[in-house]
């Protein structure tokens, strides 16, 4: 009798678990459909590859946490994280971009990523979280947190940027990001260098560090963006990714992006100012 009860209880539990997994799947399917619908996908093959890991597990129900629900757990944590980090004129990575970068980390098992231009950490923290929860890798973030470095000259927003930056307290911005790294317990997966990208490059050369993903979102002057590309591109591994921010709406960034685009495969181009999306993802050849 006891045995039968336990059997019944187990069956009910398993059914509940299956139901949870099916609900997870439905949510992730509609999330994926929305992303695919929203995106201007320029490279169909690669976008299918990006989608595959989610969908191929769709029929693979398991009573341990499925890869699908593991991914959803990461997206939920990123969503919660972004709710706590302010979005303003100085920076504002939308959830969609943060989750796509996290998706690259766990889909392609990326171990080492670098971000130029951290600001409040809306893009660095989600990437670090993805490393913590999936690949156990490291997200490097570079930002000098200095007024003179934050000013920009060849954008239509020069005056607005100056006004905005003069009101910022760079020391406390830096401290806030260090606190976030602690409070989200990603200390082992996130290294913040308070340097310009030009100063930081020697750290990576001296320590023989190469990257699977480079996120360029520092100073938007053409000359600075070009410098970031020239310094960091040689340190991206074969098959690695470049995520470039503001490459459509900012002429100064767009000129550099246009050059890169002629050399590397475009995986995704995204421009929807309603949700603050203005970025592209490129991939280097495999060898
Ligand atoms: C647009 S914000 C970054 C936004 C952030 N990635 C996000 O998504 O929320 C640009 C940042 O680049 C930083 N920056 C300016 N010059 C830099 C340089 N030479 N190297 C690295 N970061 C730089 C600024 O201090 C600023 O915090």
Could you state, in order of their start, the residue ranges of all structural domains in the chain? 2-283
Residue of 123, 175, 218 best suited for mutating to test ligand 1, as the one with most atoms within 8 Å of CB:
218
Residues having CB within 6 Å of any atom of ligand 1: 90-93, 116-120, 122-123, 142-145, 149-150, 196-197, 217-219, 224
Residue 6: other Cβ atoms inside 10 A: 10
For residue 62, the model assigns a pLDDT of: 37
How far, in Å, CA of 181 to CA of 214, rounded?
A: 19
For residue 157, the model assigns a pLDDT of: 82
199: nearest Cα among 131, 159, 145: 145
User: From the CA of 84, how far away is ligand 1's center (Å)?
Assistant: 19
| Spatial contact of 244 and 220, defined as CB atoms under 8 Å apart | no
| Spatial contact of 190 and 124, defined as CB atoms under 8 Å apart | yes
CA 79 to chain centroid, in Å, comes to 12
CB under 8 Å to 223, separation ≥6 — which residues? Answer: 154
For residue 155, the model assigns a pLDDT of: 81
Helices (H) and strands (E) in the chain, counts: 11, 7
| Spatial contact of 266 and 41, defined as CB atoms under 8 Å apart | no
For residue 272, the model assigns a pLDDT of: 92
For residue 65, the model assigns a pLDDT of: 54
User: From the CA of 46, how far away is ligand 1's center (Å)?
Assistant: 29
For residue 98, the model assigns a pLDDT of: 96
User: From the CA of 118, how far away is ligand 1's center (Å)?
Assistant: 5
Query: Across the chain, what does the average pLDDT equal?
Result: 85
For residue 228, the model assigns a pLDDT of: 98
Q: What dotted CATH number matches 2-283? A: 3.40.50.150
User: Which stretches in the chain have pLDDT values below 50?
Assistant: 1-7, 36-63
**C-alpha angle 70-71-77 in degrees, rounded to nearest 5:** 95
Beta strands in 206-284 (DSSP E): 211-216, 236-245, 265-272, 277-283
User: Looking at ligand 1, which atom is closest to the CA of residue 218?
Assistant: 12
For residue 69, the model assigns a pLDDT of: 75
Residue 62: other Cβ atoms inside 10 A: 13
How far, in Å, CA of 267 to CA of 246, rounded?
A: 16
């Amino acid at each position: 009798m006891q045995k039968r009860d336990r059997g019944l209880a187990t069956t009910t539990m398993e059914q509940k678990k299956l139901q949870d997994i099916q609900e997870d799947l439905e949510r992730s399917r509609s999330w994926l459909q929305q992303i695919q619908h929203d995106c201007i996908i320029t490279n169909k093959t690669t976008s299918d590859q990006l989608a595959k890991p989610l969908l191929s597990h769709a029929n693979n129900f398991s009573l341990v946490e499925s890869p699908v629900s593991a991914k959803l757990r990461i997206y939920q944590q990123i969503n919660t994280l972004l709710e706590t980090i302010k979005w303003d004129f100085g920076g504002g990575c939308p959830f969609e971009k943060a989750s796509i970068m996290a998706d690259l980390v766990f889909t392609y098992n990326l171990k080492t990523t670098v971000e130029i231009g951290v600001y409040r950490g809306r893009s660095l923290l989600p990437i670090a979280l993805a490393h913590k929860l999936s690949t156990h890798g490291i997200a490097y973030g570079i930002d000098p947190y200095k007024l003179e470095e934050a000013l920009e000259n060849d954008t239509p927003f020069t005056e607005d940027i100056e006004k905005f930056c003069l009101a910022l307290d760079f020391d406390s911005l830096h401290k806030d990001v260090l606190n976030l790294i602690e409070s989200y317990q990603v200390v082992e997966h996130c290294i913040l260098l308070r340097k310009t990208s030009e100063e930081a490059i020697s750290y990576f050369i001296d320590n023989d560090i190469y990257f699977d993903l480079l996120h360029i979102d520092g100073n938007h002057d053409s000359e600075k963006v070009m410098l970031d590309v020239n310094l960091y591109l040689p340190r991206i591994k074969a098959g690695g990714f470049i995520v470039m921010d503001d490459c459509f709406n900012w002429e100064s960034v767009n000129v550099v992006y246009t050059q890169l685009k002629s050399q590397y495969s475009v995986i995704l181009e995204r421009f929807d100012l309603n949700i603050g999306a203005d970025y592209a993802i490129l991939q280097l050849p495999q060898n």
